[in-house]
Amino acid sequence: MRNRRRWVTRGEPLKLDSDTVRPLLLLAVSCVACSGPERPVVHVDIAATCADVKGAGEVRRAGRPYWEPLRRGTALKAGDWVRTRAGTTARVELLAGGRLDLSESAVVVIEPPASPAEPVVARKGSTIGVEEGEVRATLVASDAPLTVKRSTGAARVLDSPAVYRLVAGPQDAGVEVTRLDAPPPEAALTPDAPPPAVRVAPAPSTFPSSLTPGIDARLKFDPRGWVRLTWSPVPGALRYRVQTARDWSFTVETRNADVEGTSWLMRPDGVGLYVWRVAAISQSGQLGEFGFARRLFLEEETPTDLLVGPADGFSAEQPPVTFTWKEAGGASSYRVMVSKGVDPQRAPVFNQVTRGNAATAATLAAGTYTWGVYADGEVLRPLFLKPRKLVVKASAPKK
């Protein structure tokens, strides 16, 4: 019985043999040896912690095939994957400095392993992989640089202090980085020197021209996809403000984003109408005038062009001109609009509603026109993939 030990726990005897006690004693000795001031316990493998999560966040540990619930205070190690479900947001604090705010449907890898083709580079600070969705990274002045990468793209080092928008764009693309906020450095002043004169740059006098997607563009909705908005640069602009909404008056689900470049990735949340416009911001932060708004329609199925004739770029000798099209599902009437600008809806010279599949413009002056057909209603839904051009030639003089 010398190999039996009697332990009393809450009044009940607990019997342990030597095979069970020996590992416990070794563990106790090792803990005592490591607890002294000369050898503090340091968890060097922890790279980040979850500071907050709202909704159903998950973590997949390195080397494991399954996902676990992500909770506030969860320690994250190198190689761990973090993802947010629909309607979920999460905040991750990096131990090397920096904060990550994950939007819904985002996937981030903490300290991802280097790929075989990636050159070995000694970097300071943390490294993250943005595989899906959108992440906002905040770095204060005391934070080390943050390296951002994706499994299909090159790494990029982000300096501090700044706030960045990180987006895993279309497949086979890297991470799109947009610097949202970069506080200007403070100028050093001597005690006797007067403060420098502040010159406020005026607001930009011109506005950006929207480029893509085109006028009344129709695209298939992808719940995990993005739509790239592009516009023309404005001389002297420091950055641009992109405004999106779900209605023509920019009052429903209005969103603003300040970006430095001339493109931005918009993540739609469903089918239907979207409108967007862009304004330039001066060096002093003055907001200029918004450019012309553009409409964007996202549909369940791949859109098809329902216009029949005239063909794009058709030249008519003289009116009348008859416009024809195919029926659109769910439409009871159609509106035909002809304009002398690039947008059929802007100052149309011909605007007719019909229940059939044809409409005739009896009088059109000589010139170049843009025309399109819409399913009539509170929101005009285009039947075309892009508006068509029409040229009406001048009539020959009578002899």
CATH of domain 210-299: 2.60.40.10
CB count in 10 Å sphere of residue 35 = 10
d(CA 308, CA 322): 10
d(CA 69, CA 226): 27
- Is there a shared CATH topology between the 210-299 domain and the 307-392 domain? yes
d(CA 107, CA 105): 7
d(CA 92, CA 53): 9
Ramachandran angles phi, psi of 21, nearest 5°: -70, -40
d(CA 158, CA 146): 5
Which stretch of DSSP H or E encloses residue 155?
A: strand 153-158
Residue type, 327: E
Domain limits, the chain: 4-34, 46-116+124-181, 210-299, 307-392
* Residues pairing with 235 in the sheet: none
d(CA 365, CA 282): 42
Q: Out of 3.30.70, 3.30.60, 2.60.120, 1.10.3470, which CATH number does the structure's domain 46-116+124-181 have? A: 2.60.120
What is the full per-residue pLDDT of the chain (399 aa) written as tens digits? 444 444 444 444 444 454 544 444 344 434 444 444 443 443 447 889 999 999 889 999 988 888 999 998 899 999 999 999 888 899 999 988 889 999 888 899 998 877 655 554 555 788 999 988 889 999 888 888 899 988 877 788 988 888 888 888 776 667 888 887 654 444 454 555 555 554 555 677 788 999 999 999 999 998 878 899 999 999 989 889 999 999 888 888 888 888 888 998 888 889 999 999 999 998 888 888 899 999 999 999 999 999 999 999 999 887 899 999 999 988 999 999 999 999 999 889 999 999 999 999 998 999 999 999 999 988 899 999 999 999 998 876 665
CATH of domain 307-392: 2.60.40.10
Residue type, 324: T
Q: Are 92 and 100 contacting, i.e. CB atoms less than 8 angstroms apart?
A: yes
Claim: this prediction has a pTM higher than 0.75: no
CB count in 10 Å sphere of residue 93 = 14
